[in-house]
Amino acid sequence: MNVPLLDLKGQYATIRSEVREALDRVLDSQHFILGPEVEALEREIAEYSQCRFAVGVSSGTDALLAALMALNLEPGDEVVTTAYSFFATAGVIARLGGKPVFVDIDPLTFNIDPELIEAKVTKRTRAIIPVHLYGQMAEMEAVLDIARRHHIPVIEDAAQAIGAELNRRRAGSLGDMGCLSFFPSKNLGGFGDGGMVITNNNELAERVRMLRNHGFRTRYHNEILGGNFRLDAIQAAVLRVKLKYLDQWTEGRQANASLYRQCLQSVQLPLEAPNRRHIYNQFVIRTSGRDELAASLKEQGIASEVYYPVPLHLQTCFQGLGYRKGDLPASEDAARTTLALPIYPELTPDMIQFVASAINYQCQT
C-alpha cells in the first residue's frame, strides 16, 4: 500500500466544480490583486479566528515580516522566540536586522517553554513570538502574563494553527497580532502562496494594510516604508471555498489522530495539552530509532517527514549569534527523535492501520 504524507488531489476532487466557479468569477472580473475577493476573505477569516481585523498578505513569512515592521522593529532589537519551528519564524527577525533570542521548548508539546522566557527578556526585547506548532496552541496565558508585565507585544505564529483553540479562544486572537499561512500544505491551503495578519488592534491592522502596499493609504503618497506583500484575488477566491470545509477536514484529522492513538505502540504519541482544540497540521511521534524507522517506512511505501532536523539556534546562518550544541537540549532532542506521519483528512482507516502496523513491527522491543 502506498501512503503519501499529503494528497491534495483527493481533497480537490471533492470541491473541484465549486473552486472552478470561484476562479471563473475572478477571471471574468480581471481583478487580480486585493479587491473584493480578498476583502471578503479577510472578513470571513477574521470572524473564523475571533478577531476584529484581518489583512491578507503574500505568505505566512510576509505576515510575520509585516507584523514585525508594524511594531517598528529596528536593527539590534531583540525578539524572543522558540528554537524549534520552521525557519521563517526566526528568519524574519534577522532580515529586519533584529536579533532572534531563542528559548527552549516543552518536550511534551514542542511549544515554547514559558518558564524559560523571562530570563531572556532584556531592555532591548521588542516582541515575543510563540509558535503554535503542529496545530496545537502554546501556553498563551503564561506568555501573555510575562509580556504584559514587561510591556512587550506578542505576535502569534499561527501558520500551522488556524482554528486551533485554547479555552475556546482561537489561535492568533490572543496576542497583539496573529500570523496565518495559506501555503498549500497547511490546513487551509491555497493554490500558491498566501498569508494573513489578524488582530484586534485597529492601529496595527491599519499599519499592516499600509505596509503590504508600499506604505501608502493614498496611492503615490508613501507614509511609511513598506513593500509588496499583497494577496492575490485568485488565492482569496480558492480559500473562501475551502474555508467552508475547514472544520469538516479538521474533524477528519482529529479522527485520524484518535485511530493512530488506538493502534500505535512503542512510540511516544503527541500530547494533547488540556483545554485545547488541536487541529493536527502534523501528527508527530517520537522514537530513539527515528532514522531507521523512517527508512523502513519508506521501503514499505509509507511517507513520513522530519520537522525539523536542525533547531533554529544551530542553523548555519545564525552562527554569528553564538549558540552551541547543548544550549537548548529539548529542541535538539526533538530534532533528533521526532517524525511526522501522514494525517491528512482523506486517509482511510486501512491506511492508518497499515502505517501503525509497520511502526509497531519496527519499534517492538
- Note the residues at the interface with ligand PLP (CB under 6 A): 59-61, 85-86, 88-89, 131, 157, 159-160, 181, 183, 193, 195
The most distant pair of C-alpha atoms in the chain lies apart, rounded to whole Å, by 68
Q: Which of 17, 15, 43, 41 is nearest to 233 (CA)?
A: 41
C-beta separation of 300 from 89 below 8 A = no
Helices 8-29 and 233-243: angle between axes, nearest 10 degrees: 130
- CB distance 177 to 155 below 8 Å: yes
Please give the C-alpha separations between residue 62 and each of 39, 54, 65, 301, in angstroms, as whole numbers: 18, 14, 5, 35
* CA 139 – CA 175 distance, rounded (Å): 12
Q: Which residue number is nearest to ligand PLP in terms of Cβ? A: 60
Nearer to ligand PLP, 88 or 355 (CB): 88
If the CB atoms of residues 53 and 86 are measured against ligand PLP, the closer one turns out to be: 86
Give yes or no for a contact between 65 and 179, defined as CB atoms under 8 angstroms apart.
no
The nearest distance, CB 172 to ligand PLP, in angstroms, is 12
Q: How far is the CB of 36 from ligand PLP (least distance, A)?
A: 23
Closest CB 84 distance from ligand PLP, rounded Å: 10
| Least spacing, CB of residue 98 vs ligand PLP, in Å | 16
CB of 279 to ligand PLP, least distance (A): 13
- Burial of 248 by CB count in 10 Å (0-12 exposed, 13-18 middle, 19+ buried)? exposed
CB of 337 to ligand PLP, least distance (A): 19
- Nearest distance, CB of residue 160 and ligand PLP, angstroms: 5
CB nearer to ligand PLP: pick between 51 and 196: 196
Closer to ligand PLP by Cβ: residue 178 or 351 = 178
Task: Write down the least CB distance from residue 356 to ligand PLP, Å.
Answer: 26
Residue 365, Cβ density class (10 Å: 0-12 exposed, 13-18 middle, ≥19 buried): exposed
**Residue nearer to ligand PLP on the CB measure, 131 or 314:** 131
Q: How far is the CB of 28 from ligand PLP (least distance, A)?
A: 28
Q: Which is nearer to ligand PLP, 131 or 294 (CB)?
A: 131
Q: Which is nearer to ligand PLP, 143 or 293 (CB)?
A: 143
Instruction: Answer yes or no: are the C-beta atoms of 197 and 57 closer than 8 Å.
Output: yes
Residue 178 vs 226, nearer CB to ligand PLP: 178
CB 157 within 8 A of CB 108: no
Helix (H, G, I), strand (E, B) or coil at 166: strand
60 versus 311: smaller Cβ distance to ligand PLP? 60
Chain mean position to CA 304? 19
Amino acid at residue number 90? A
Q: Are 332 and 325 in contact (CB under 8 A)?
A: yes
Neighbour-count burial of 208, counting CB atoms closer than 10 A to its CB (0-12 exposed, 13-18 middle, 19+ buried): buried
